[in-house]
Amino acid sequence: MWTKRDDYPRDLDQQLRTFPLVTAKDLRNRRERPRQVKMLTREFIDDSLYNPHYGYFSKHATIFHPGEPFDFSRIEDGPHFHRLLGERYTEFEDELDKTNPDIARQLWHTPTELFRPYYGEAIARYLVTNYRLSLYPYHDLIIYEMGAGNGTLMLNILDFIRDSDPEVYARTKFKIIEISSSLAKVQKENLRASLSAGGHTGHVQIINKSIFDWNEYIHSPCFFLALEVFDNFSHVAIRYDYETEMPQQGGVVIDSDGEFCEYYNT
């Protein structure tokens, strides 16, 4: 539970003196959140989002998939679209609850899913145009996507390239870098299940790995996609003391009850 910030902050002196400072790497093999520890903000965010056993993207993230693409030519205006979207949301979550009820589930959507396949096709046009202008025929079209969600963008891009430019498609390689094991599994399942994805398997590689653990130098020119990813990176929290004007680094204390409280140290 997050302790709301108020005008009467808790006295954390004893906890800051006695609780060990841990990192996300230290907690990687833990199966539940630690207690009686302190963490820098960047480590707390990393652990909360990406811990393989209790992290948000590992266990609770569910990306909304609206089913059949919306027929935008029949949608009158914004409110009409949002009504249809609300109905699809309800249907989607009801289906999930039938097989896997989860009160901690957080459902969210991406432009890739809402505006499928047009969003992916627009990106594919850019990729093919620039590839033909600068790299074809001397290099393959190599596309990396970091954090690919359900794999929908991959499918939409490959569908478009296959249907519009078979020569380029024959030289296309799509590589996903995915930190979440559960999402990597979803991507593989959707690749196999897609009726339009026949033949794509030979063009796709799904790499279940954190980009921060990447240690391979890529010599070939490539395109790198990272849609709605950088805002999910961990980061430091810095503020300045009004009296001393000295910078202070933020962190989080996790007490014996599992509650969180922020702190700042000079």
Domain containing residue 134: CATH number: 3.40.50.150
Same domain, 241 and 160: no
Residue type at 157 in one-letter notation:
I
Query: How many other C-beta atoms can be found within 10 angstroms of the C-beta atom of residue 162?
Result: 20
Q: Give the closest residue to 34 by CA, choosing from 210, 263, 260.
A: 260
Q: Per-residue pLDDT tens for 214-259?
A: 999 999 999 999 998 988 899 999 999 888 999 999 999 999 999 9
Q: Identify the pLDDT of residue 144.
A: 99
Same domain, 170 and 199: yes
Same domain, 43 and 86: no
The residue out of 42, 75, 108 marking a domain boundary is 108
The number of folded domains in the chain is: 3
User: For the whole model, what pTM was predicted?
Assistant: 0.84
Q: Per-residue pLDDT tens for 154-207?
A: 999 999 999 999 999 999 999 999 998 889 999 999 998 876 667 898 999 999
Tokens of 176: 């996903």
Same domain, 141 and 206: yes
Same domain, 145 and 122: yes
Same domain, 99 and 47: no
Q: 3-class secondary structure for 244-257?
A: CCCEEEEEEEECCC
Confirm whether 90 is domain-assigned: yes
Same domain, 104 and 128: no
Confirm whether 204 is domain-assigned: yes
Confidence of residue 90 (pLDDT cuts 50, 70, 90): confident
Q: Which residue has the higher pLDDT, 73 or 2?
A: 73
Task: Give the residue numbers spanning the domain of 86.
Answer: 67-108
Q: Identify the pLDDT of residue 195.
A: 64
Same domain, 23 and 74: no
Confirm whether 4 is domain-assigned: no
Confirm whether 156 is domain-assigned: yes
CA distances (Å), origin 90, targets 83, 84, 160: 11, 10, 30
Same domain, 153 and 96: no
In what helix (H) or strand (E) does residue 145 lie, and over which residues does it extend? strand 141-146
Beta-sheet strands, E only, within 85-133? 106-108
- The residue with tokens 């990176």 is 233
Same domain, 50 and 92: no
Mean pLDDT score, 37-66: 89
Residue 145 has pLDDT above 70, yes or no: yes
Confirm whether 21 is domain-assigned: yes
Confirm whether 8 is domain-assigned: no
Same domain, 36 and 74: no
Confirm whether 7 is domain-assigned: no
The SS3 assignment for 75 reads: coil
Q: What is the C-alpha separation between 249 and 263, in angstroms, rounded?
A: 8
Confirm whether 141 is domain-assigned: yes
Same domain, 220 and 125: yes
